[in-house]
Structure 1
Amino acid sequence: MKTELALYRALIAINIPEAKAHAFAEAMESDMRTLLATKFDVMKAHDGLMSENLKLQSEIDRTRLEIAHLAETLTVRIATMMVVTVIAIVGAMSLLN
C-alpha cells in the first residue's frame, strides 16, 4: 500500500490527471504483488532446489553403488563361464587322446 500511495503522489506531482494516476498506481501495485518475486519467494525456491539437489545426489550415489555391484557380479559370471569353458575344452581334449 505504501508503494501505491508513493507512486500516486509522484504521478500527481508531475501533473498526471488524478484518475489516471490512481488507476496506474493500483495496476502497478497489483502487478507487483502477483508478478514479482520477493526475497522470501526466492529463498523458498532456493531451499526447495537445495532439498531436491540432495535427493538427486543421494539417488546418484545409490545408482553408482548398484552399478559397481552389477559390475562385480558380471565379472564373476564371466570368470565362471571362462573356467567352465576351459574345463570343457580340457575334458574334450583328454577324451580325444
Structure 2
Amino acid sequence: MKTELALYRALISINIPESKAHAFAEAMETDMRMFLATKHDVTKAHNDLMAENSRLRADIDRTRLEVSHLAEKLTVRIATMMVVSVVAIVGAMGLIN
C-alpha cells in the first residue's frame, strides 16, 4: 500500500491526471504483488531447492549402492558359469579320450 501511495503522489507531482495516476498506481501495486519475488520468496525457493537437492543426492547414493550390489551378483554368476563350463568341457574331453 505504501508503494501505491508513493507512485500516486509521484504521478500527481508531474501533473498526471488524478484518475490515471490512481489507476496506474493500483495496477503497478497489483503487478508487483503478483510478479515480483520478495526476499522471503527467494529464501523459501532456495531452501526448497536445497532440500530437494539433498533428497536427490540420497536417491543417487542408494542407486549407486544398488548398482554396486548388482555388479557383485553378476560377477559371481558369470564366474560360476565359467567354472561350470570349464568343468563340463574337461569332463567331455575326458569322455572322448
TM-score range, shorter chain: over 0.9
Which amino acid counterpart does residue 56 of structure 1 have in structure 2?
Answer: L
Distance (Å, rounded) in 1 between the aligned partners of 2:15 and 2:27: 19
Look up the SS of the partner of 1:15 in the other structure.
coil
- The answer for the alignment partner of 2:75 in structure 1 is 75
- The answer for the alignment partner of 1:57 in structure 2 is 57
Distance (Å, rounded) in 2 between the aligned partners of 1:25 and 1:60: 50
**Structure 2 stretches of 5 or more lacking a match?**
none
Look up the SS of the partner of 2:15 in the other structure.
coil
Q: How does 1:26-65 map to 2 (within 5 A)?
A: 26-65=26-65
**CA root-mean-square deviation:** 0.6
Distance (Å, rounded) in 1 between the aligned partners of 2:34 and 2:81: 66
Distance (Å, rounded) in 2 between the aligned partners of 1:18 and 1:6: 13
- The answer for the alignment partner of 1:13 in structure 2 is 13
**Structure 1 stretches of 5 or more lacking a match?**
none
TM-score scaled by length of structure 2: 0.97
1:26 positional shift: 0.7
Deviations 1:40-59 (A, max 9, x none): 11111111110100000000
How many percent of aligned residue pairs carry the same amino acid?
77
Q: How many pairs align?
A: 97
Deviations 1:18-70 (A, max 9, x none): 11001100111111111111111111111111010000000000000000111
- The answer for the alignment partner of 2:84 in structure 1 is 84
Runs of 4+ aligned residues of structure 1 deviating over 3 Å after TM superposition are none
